[in-house]
Structure 1
């Protein structure tokens, strides 16, 4: 069964935006890769900005579902899930197609906070920190939002480090630092 034109266009845009960057990717290249034309592209996505936002929203849904499923499959206890986050990030950093985080990359290309692309990227990380904060709260950590921010900073740093130097072991180093932060948070609860 053939994919619908909208799906093909979104898939082509996703591949090109992630591998080449958003601003470096033209709608002609997207239409060509999708086996479509610009008229059909604009029928489904009235502007390139609409296509970029659709890409980021789909990436958010797909990555979040994959990520949470992988973390949940690796651990049963909330404390173990906090550490499993870094194992899952490590798996992702090792895929050959890895080109960094689509949301960090998009925010770098659209740095103004009011820009819709920047907002969607920031919202992804707000939800990511919320997931970590919920796990920290389940552990009984007194300041779960604070720990979530600290662990998120470690994740983001590992992502960028790995983007700058492949096979750097950044996720493992971040996990070791996270274990210290988690232990400190737990010791404050007893």
Structure 2
């Protein structure tokens, strides 16, 4: 059990530092110091900084996906309103002074010249899980081309992450949510119908 708690302590420190300052600017020494462990102890649990960066994203994977699903399920109304709620909640998060954008996208930008890096694979898998979840939701709702619609929503979401980070204006994310809702409302359903607009 001590090994597990020590590893969790290191990952928790890495999550805070990497997200707030970026992976390039944070040293292994800084993570060890923040975690309250020696550098030797850190390397006992992680073979390299690359492994630690991968663990950072792994730690964010399921909690982020669970949060999106909760925002979706907790919202009253139809499919468009539920998806739009994800954007609105993210816009609210973006108004916090410590918000630094999407950790997965920021990490991929820092590792753009290292496509084989384990963190790149974790980031890509995370985005694909969200896309696949949307696709399954749209399938359940009878959308004719659920994959296409899921990808359109993902592009709006990730595009808004980038623009909000650039302009520091979360209203761009709310506008992207409105666009996503419009796409969903206008999406053909099996049987040739179109999703009814909310009253």
Q: CA deviation at 1:92?
A: 2.6
* SS state at 1:4 partner: helix
Alignment RMSD (CA, Å): 2.0
- Relative to the length of structure 2, the TM-score reads 0.87
Task: Report SS of the residue matched to 1:114.
Answer: coil
Aligned residues: 189
Match of 1:151 among 121, 128, 153: 153
Residue aligning to 2:92? 91
Structure 1 unmatched ranges of 5 or more: none
Match of 2:166 among 164, 167, 172: 164
- 1:16-75 deviation line (CA, Å, top 9, x unaligned): 111111111101111111111101111111211111111111111221122212221113
Match of 1:109 in 2: 110
Contact 1:81 1:135 in 2 (8 A): no
| Structure 2 unpaired stretches of 5+ | 194-199
TM, length-normalised to structure 1? 0.91
Please state how far the C-alpha of 1:77 moved relative to its aligned partner. 4.4
- For 2:76 and 2:91, how far apart are their aligned partners in 1? 15
* Conserved? CA contact 2:14–2:52, under 8 Å: yes
Structure 1 consecutive aligned stretches of length 4 or more whose deviation exceeds 6 Å: none
Match of 2:132 in 1: 130
Q: Contact 1:57/1:120 (CA < 8 Å) preserved in 2?
A: yes
Query: Matches of 1:83 and 1:139 in 2, distance apart?
Result: 16
Q: What is the CA–CA distance in structure 2 between the aligned matches of 1:106 and 1:78, rounded to whole Å?
A: 31
- Write out aligned runs for 1:64-103 (5 A): 64-75=65-76, 77-103=78-104
**What are the Cα deviations for residues 64-101 of structure 1, in whole angstroms up to 9, with x where unaligned?**
12221222111364443222222232233223221011
